[in-house]
Amino acid sequence: MALPKHASTLERIWHYVYLVICGLIFLFLIAPILIVIPLSFNSQPYFTFTKEMLSFDPAGYSLRWYDTLLTFGMNAPNAVRDGNWWRDVWNNSTWLQVAGNSLWIGLFSTILATVLGTLAALGLSRPEMPYRRAIMAILISPMIVPIIIVATGMFFFYSSIGLANSFIGVIMAHATLGIPFVIITVTATLIGFDHSLTRAAASLGANPTTTFFKVIMPLILPGVISGALFAFVTSFDEVVVVLFVADFDQQTIPRQMWNGIREQISPAILSVATLLVVVSICLLTVVELLRRRSEKLRGITQS
Amino acid sequence: MSDTSTDTGLRTVDGQPLKKALSAAQAKARRRAFLLVLPLLAFVIVTFIVPIGQMLHRSVYNADFTIHKDFGTREITPIMTNLSAWFDANLAGTDPDEAAFAALAADLVVLRELRAPGQVGTRINYEVSGTRSLFTKSARRAERLEPPYKEALLDIDEDWADPALWQAMRGASSPYTANFYLAAVDLARDADGSITQVNDNRKVYVKLFWRTLLLAALITVLCFILAFPVAHLLATLPLRYSNLLMIFVLLPFWTSLLVRTTSWIVLLQSQGVVNDILVTLGIVGDDGRMQMIYNQTGTIIAMTHILLPFMVLPLYSVMRPIDPSYVRAARSLGASSWTAFFRIYLPQTAPGIGAGALLVFILAVGYYITPALVGGSSGQLISNLIAFHMQGSLNWSLAAALASLLLAGVLILYWLYDRLVGIDNLKLG
């Protein structure tokens, strides 16, 4: 947005003020996320920059909080770091356990949400779909209904059918929460889909299954993958349902962070946060690349 | 065209009327589309609609006064049967006579055997506080009671004569009740069964609903004020730059909620970064550090940050296609830049403002995690109270009634969103 040559002085001043305001808002958006990264390398148990850190003295920085993270929950954290020590880490480190749980729960709920969601999106994007609007409203509602209500309902439901405190219960709950994201991203991809391609495939003798895997799938794949990533992040970041329906065995990363924040917040939480920020940067990069690829496939060019 | 003309008119190769063949083909296509959606629909109904239905049922149903379920053997025994029979035989407002106290005494003996006085006492305690111990205490001595039961029970505790207690027991003797909804809006039934306001010092829920609405509205306004300039800048920059700057909006969107909440705790606490900067700059003294977290301020700041992307994205997608030549035309016709903005540009962004504001408001009204972690006591919202009743006080029916009221509000807003914006237009990133 360039300033025109004929702009008055007042307009010029306003233009720069406006840019500064925008800069400050961007700072408000991004600073809280980036601030945890340097603080997680603090050598002191403080949540602020020490004098050593500000003068870039190496003594002010350390990996001690990452070490705390790894050794928390171990039988013998202070033993010599040999093969046995690492076995102890693998078997007993609390954060590794919960990270494993998070990954498995995330993986299975993502598969469930993506497979069912993609199929449904294919149906929903057909013009002949009956009751389209009402069904769409039901399928999107897990995103809109407050999470505390979902968790309360699931607590009653799972207790009555004996799924409380089980992995299957958590996975099903997380899949439900991820479904709206899959539906939204996949139907958005299908809006630009040229249905004469499937007719062409059919006229050339392909059956519906072949058409799906050879023609439709490659074209909508970027949308499906973004939807799957959304579903994974939803599960990976979910804490309230886990609080209500999961037991000690099904603790996840956010659940453990919740404990850490509520009980006694230590800079070790900041090192988890830093790792999660790195994960989200990776995910965002993948999603952006996919979006560009999808736009290219659909013939939308960037100006 | 009438039916007779198609019967005699066009036919397909195998001799069927064309109209019939077409409708058969269309029905098949509809069925196929529906079958694709069916597995997911069934899944969502089982894992989402049924649980919510169960919660709604729980909000009007509480059998703690009528049924005892053994945790070990899962055996179900009806309890308080004698007293229920007396309530059925006598109208509301009847003073409890000797027969009523005899029924109560007999029921207390059964309770003692089942070890269930706590359950019944807790149920009545929801409505008349301080009565739980009354039940446990009396049940302990129930076997040794002798007629006349009225005097014997009053001997144990004078409170057994309280008409409010008898009204509460009458209400609880039928498992279906609207009393939890009354409690959720600070109402109660008095001794003769009519609905009244509860004492001023026990009025919490209506106040909390108002606070939730006000905070959600405030957060929506703040999000709008912050999102508008940013979305405008992103929409008017060339795509090359705006895609880069978009990262600033999308990265928070993709970052874990708990990470963002943690960051705000780190930034805003009294020994945190913001206070340190203010002290270093000399704006506040070292002893005058501001309390910005674990109160309402903390909730507002953190939630505004977390919900901001939900406002920027709809605004951006509406602003991007706005043609700048309208504003230029207005300027060339003599409008000041102020007038051109308010009369020409702003009205064109209205759909985006509506979509973003509704979405942010809907999400803010039901927010739980952030207020629970940074809200202290003044920054709690209605969701936090639902969680408290679910996990703390274990008054599940009241939690369900509060949740149902919140759900009703959210569903109305969702319906409004669908009518005004259309859920098809919901976009993420």
The verdict on B40 touching A (C-beta cutoff 8 Å) is yes
What is the nearest CA distance from B29 to chain A, expressed in angstroms? 7
> Which chain B residue is nearest to residue A239, measuring alpha carbons?
B369
> Pick from B229, B262, B423: which is nearest to A137 by CB?
B423
Please give the average per-residue pLDDT across B54-83, as a whole number: 86
What is the nearest CA distance from A84 to chain B, expressed in angstroms? 33
| B428 pLDDT tier (thresholds 50, 70, 90) | low
Least confident of B37-46, B50-59, B82-91, B356-365: B82-91
pLDDT per residue over B291-308, tens digit each?
Answer: 888 889 999 999 999 999
Q: What is the domain partition of chain B in residue ranges?
A: 3-60, 67-202, 205-425
- Give the residue among B302, B308, B298 at the shortest CA–CA distance from B248: B308
Residue A85 gets the label, from left (phi > 0), alpha (psi -120 to 50) or beta, of alpha
Compute the distance between CA of residue B362 and CA of residue B216 in angstroms, rounded to an integer: 8
Compute the distance between CA of residue A13 and CA of residue A41 in angstroms, rounded to an integer: 41
> Which residue has tokens 């669908």?
B418
Please give the average per-residue pLDDT across B398-410, as a whole number: 95
Question: Considering only the top CATH level, what class is A96-297?
Answer: mainly alpha
Say yes or no for a CB contact (<8 Å) between B54 and A179: no
> Pick from A49, A116, A187: which is nearest to B43 by CB?
A116
Q: What is the domain partition of chain A in residue ranges?
A: 62-92, 96-297
Q: Which residues of A touch B414 (CB under 8 A)?
A: 137, 141, 144
Please report the pLDDT score of residue A302 as a whole number: 45
Interface of B with A in 330-389 (CB under 8 A): 337, 362, 365-369, 373, 383, 386-387
pLDDT per residue over B113-129, tens digit each?
Answer: 888 888 888 888 888 88
> Is the pLDDT assigned to residue B208 strictly greater than 50?
yes
Q: What is the pLDDT along chain A (303 residues), one digit of tens a residue?
A: 567 777 788 888 999 999 999 999 999 999 999 998 998 888 888 888 888 888 888 888 888 888 888 888 888 888 888 888 888 888 888 899 999 999 999 999 999 999 999 999 999 988 888 888 899 999 999 999 999 999 999 999 998 898 888 899 999 999 999 999 999 999 988 887 888 888 899 899 999 889 988 888 888 898 899 999 999 999 999 999 999 999 888 899 999 999 888 887 788 889 999 999 999 999 999 988 888 887 777 665 443
Please give the average per-residue pLDDT across B192-217, as a whole number: 88
Say yes or no for a CB contact (<8 Å) between A36 and B259: yes
User: Choosing among A3, A18, A25, which should be mutated to test the B contact, i.e. which has the most B CBs within 10 A?
Assistant: A25
pLDDT per residue over A62-85, tens digit each?
Answer: 888 888 888 888 888 888 888 888
> Pick from A26, A130, A176: which is nearest to B47 by CB?
A176
Give the pairing of strands B195-197 and B187-189.
antiparallel
Residue B267: burial class (beta carbons within 10 Å; 0-12, 13-18, 19+): buried
Please report the pLDDT score of residue B7 as a whole number: 52
Q: Check: CB of residue B258 under 8 Å from CB of residue A238.
A: no
The verdict on B33 touching A (C-beta cutoff 8 Å) is yes
> Which chain A residue is nearest to residue B424, measuring alpha carbons?
A184
- Give the DSSP H/E element, type plus range, for residue B69: strand B67-69
Tokens describing residue A109 = 């709920």
User: Choosing among B213, B255, B389, B412, which should be mutated to test the A contact, i.e. which has the most A CBs within 10 A?
Assistant: B255
> Is the pLDDT assigned to residue B188 strictly greater than 60?
yes
Q: For residue A269, how far is the Cα from the chain centroid?
A: 18
Tokens describing residue A111 = 């598969």
Q: Which residues of B touch A25 (CB under 8 A)?
A: 226, 229-230
What is the nearest CA distance from B409 to chain A, expressed in angstroms? 10
Please report the pLDDT score of residue B5 as a whole number: 46
Compute the distance between CA of residue B425 and CA of residue B285 in angstroms, rounded to an integer: 50
Q: Check: CB of residue B122 under 8 Å from CB of residue B64.
A: yes
Q: Which residue has the higher pLDDT, A5 or B332?
A: B332
> Is the pLDDT assigned to residue B2 strictly greater than 50?
no
Superfamily (CATH) of domain B205-425 = MetI-like (1.10.3720.10)
Q: Check: CB of residue B138 under 8 Å from CB of residue B156.
A: yes
Q: Check: CB of residue B312 under 8 Å from CB of residue A30.
A: no
- DSSP label at residue B144: G
Please report the pLDDT score of residue B39 as a whole number: 94
> Is the pLDDT assigned to residue B423 strictly greater than 80?
no
> Pick from A145, A280, A281: which is nearest to B407 by CB?
A145
Say yes or no for a CB contact (<8 Å) between B266 and A150: no
Give me the interface pTM, i.e. the ipTM: 0.89
Q: Which residue has the higher pLDDT, A184 or B290?
A: A184
- Give the residue among A144, A244, A154, A146 at the shortest CA–CA distance from B403: A146
Please give the average per-residue pLDDT across B214-219, as a whole number: 96
Please give the average per-residue pLDDT across B377-398, as a whole number: 91
